[in-house]
Amino acid sequence: KAWYPGHVQKAKRQIRENLKKIDIVVIVLDARAPVATTSFEMKIFKDKQRVFLLNKTDLADSEYNKKWACEIAKLYPTLLVNKDTNRKELLTFLKSIPTKYANPRIAVVGVPNVGKSTIINKILGRHKAKTGAQPGITRGVQWVNVEGFTVLDSPGILFSEIFSKDIAAKLLLIGSLPIENVDDEIFDYAFKIYASAAGVQKDIVQFLEEYGRSRGLLKKGGQVDYEKAKTLFFKEVSEGKHGRLTYDTEFEKFWEVLKNG
């Protein structure tokens, strides 16, 4: 798609090259949007043992977290995690994955900003975070031996293939789409999804008017600077500053997207 940053093709090539050597694919989803974050070309992993980490559970609705974990666990090893999950729990989960390999090679993959680097750092027991808040900035390839695994020390960045307005809007809400690449139609749609999940009654114009004013985001004449208000608001939403919200709530859609991807 036109909004893809320049290094996307390179990232895709890297994944394909490394894929041949991988035994277990750890797919990181954002617990707020398990469907939208599964909307990538899943068939490249069809011969691999796949497991799911539902990450950023601290930003999602706790009841939905449990429901999603139960649902996905019907077919795949699944673990609810967040940045405070301890390393031991993560390693115990990895060790529980059925595999025929003595020293399985593991790759951590997912769409931008779901927390891949944070998880790799944790698996490797690396405290100094090598993460970036900008979607899609992680690079470099290296294998590291740790606790009976060989881990690819480079997140596999995946990009949505089944692209729809709904998916784009949810990726925006979780910070997986760079704001500058989003048009007003998607902003409006994303706001509706947010408002519905958060129980907000206002429309985007009313809301940004009040929000912009309360934050002092004003133009010279005293009118609200909508561009600034919009940018700040969606950034805050993606960081969980407007509540713990789960945007994807339909389980059947997950399986549909997984099958079609």
Query: Considering beta carbons, is residue 83 or 213 the nearer one to ligand GTP?
Result: 83
Of 112, 156, 212, 261, the one binding ligand GTP by CB under 6 A: 112
At 30, list the tokens: 């954002």
Of 18, 82, 99, 231, the one binding ligand GTP by CB under 6 A: 82
Under the binding rule (CB under 6 A), the answer on residue 160 touching ligand GTP is no
The letter for the amino acid at 175 is G
Please report which helix (H) or strand (E) contains residue 256, including its range. helix 251-260
Under the binding rule (CB under 6 A), the answer on residue 114 touching ligand GTP is yes
Instruction: Determine the interface stretch with ligand GTP among 126-134, 141-149, 219-227, 253-261 (rule: CB under 6 A).
Output: 126-134
Phi-psi region of 62 (alpha: psi -120 to 50; beta: other; left: phi over 0): alpha
Summarize the chain as % helix, strand, coil (round to 5). 45, 15, 45
Query: Considering beta carbons, is residue 117 or 150 the nearer one to ligand GTP?
Result: 117
Query: Considering beta carbons, is residue 219 or 241 the nearer one to ligand GTP?
Result: 241
At 70, list the tokens: 């139960």
Instruction: Determine the interface stretch with ligand GTP among 39-47, 131-139, 146-154, 204-212 (rule: CB under 6 A).
Output: 131-139
Of 34, 77, 104, 155, the one binding ligand GTP by CB under 6 A: 155
**Residues whose CB falls within 8 Å of the CB of residue 205, separated by 6 or more in sequence, listed in order:** none
Chain-centre distance for alpha carbon 216 = 31
Of 12, 18, 44, 58, the one binding ligand GTP by CB under 6 A: 58
**Helices and strands of the chain, counted as H and E runs:** 9, 7
Chain-centre distance for alpha carbon 157 = 10
For binding to ligand GTP (CB under 6 A), which residues are involved? 55-56, 58-59, 82-83, 110, 112-118, 131-133, 135-138, 155, 157, 240
